[in-house]
Structure 1
């Protein structure tokens, strides 16, 4: 599928899966709005990388947990490019808290993770919905196998990702038939989250059926394939090297 002149918003687009997705879609002809909250330099680098091969992209700051900032961001993108055809809800945060340490889970951890990981995705979907509907567009929400297994970097993170999967199904119902909404649930991915935890990563790989973890580009390829699939909505697709087998 050609994304020629299709406008795509990728939240958290400066790093990791978001960056890989922005680059891939731009290579296929999309105009990409690279959203960031704190990673300004990384978002600008992503835009420059796209422009170097002749693609079109802008970096745009918004904290997705703020509905006001999201609405302003969507208005800016539409004013600049005329519409939004696709949304990749990728922005996400975590806190590293031992799963068994319930006392270490603060109110702030719950509030911050749900504000960004769940409400943030809803805010973006709602603000973009009129444009997505007009163009029969699609949304991909980036979840996690943590939302399926209940295990992850922290208990609130795993629960927030389970909520992302639920949000995906609810939005698929709410936005049908004009907008398709699908989720991808990666296992371990080689991003900056593993910085300083390389030994843990190697230990995990030894227990995976495929004896490897995913590159961000592999998740990006699945996201692109999902955006192109006219018969799919409301599904959560696992991509985890067999981790949940």
Structure 2
């Protein structure tokens, strides 16, 4: 084991791809999940079959108590933390802003913004050199929707990712002196199960003609960008963004 990584929302899609790639590169991986234990354990089993170290930990990051418990579980398991991938995110059915209620918006922000803040806080408390840490990296999984707005579909989701972008820049400047780098990836139209949550499982195929590269992306392509930002190869990069959006 070289380093320890927590991936929130690690049981599916981009999160699962990140866990698997991280394990192949020598990380011990905490696969966080909210409710799908079977999927998380499947990721863990795949890692262990390849000789890696992994553990699945249930926690809804929208709950501060559960998010803190997630980090405490990693403390007990490995006694260190080197990388946090803030990947957990929720999406609700496609809807125009005029039809949204406050409860829906609150659910989106609770996970995508508050959860990311709390997890980043817990990571900084463990990584900061002034607190006895060794430094580390935080990679936030944003979205190209933060730039494009997702009009007519997911403006609330897009706004939450805009907030995540601001967290990335602000926190990067705040903790650079502590040996912590904070960066983000902005995926575009990626083939994952998340689109089904919005009511359109085939969304990527519908819109891919509008992408300059004329195709949807794969979760593994996003994971590769995340792992670069987590690695020492990006040691002089903080407060930055990698677009994985096919030119969008």
TM-score (norm 1): 0.93
Paired residues, number: 238
Aligned partner of 1:204 among 204, 207, 210: 207
Runs of 4+ residues deviating >4 angstroms: none
Given the alignment, which residue of 99, 122, 127 partners 1:104?
99
Cα offsets for 1:193-221 (capped at 9, x unmatched): 24474654223111211111110000000
In structure 2, distance between residues paired with 1:53 and 1:72: 28
Q: How does 1:63-212 map to 2 (within 5 A)?
A: 63-98=60-95, 101-133=96-128, 134-151=133-150, 153-177=153-177, 178-195=179-196, 197=200, 199-212=202-215
CA contact (8 A) 2:205 2:216 kept: no
Distance 1:102 1:138 in 2: 35
In the TM superposition, 1:226-237 aligns within 5 A as: 226-228=229-231, 229-237=234-242
Does residue 62 of the first structure (1) align with residue 33 of the second (2)? no
Mean CA deviation greater in 179-188 or 207-216: 207-216
Asked if the contact 1:37/1:63 (under 8 Å) is kept, the reply is yes
Structure 2: where are the runs of 5+ without partners? none
Please report how far the alpha carbon of residue 67 of structure 1 lies from its aligned counterpart in structure 2 after TM superposition.
1.3
Change (3 A) 1:61 1:218: same
- In the alignment, is residue 220 of structure 1 matched against residue 223 of structure 2? yes
SS of 2:184's partner is strand
Mark the runs of 5 or more structure 1 residues left unpaired by the alignment: none
Q: Aligned residue for 1:28? A: 25
RMSD, matched Cα: 1.4
User: Distance in 1 between the 2:77 and 2:202 partners?
Assistant: 45
String of CA shifts for 1:128-173, please: whole Å, max 9, x gaps.
2122221220000000011111116411111101001011111112
Secondary structure of the 2:6 match is strand
1:169-195, CA deviations, whole angstroms, 9 ceiling, x for partnerless residues?
A: 111122122200001101010001244
Q: Which residue of 2 aligns with 1:16?
A: 13
Rounded Cα–Cα distance in structure 2 between residues aligned with 1:53 and 1:199: 32
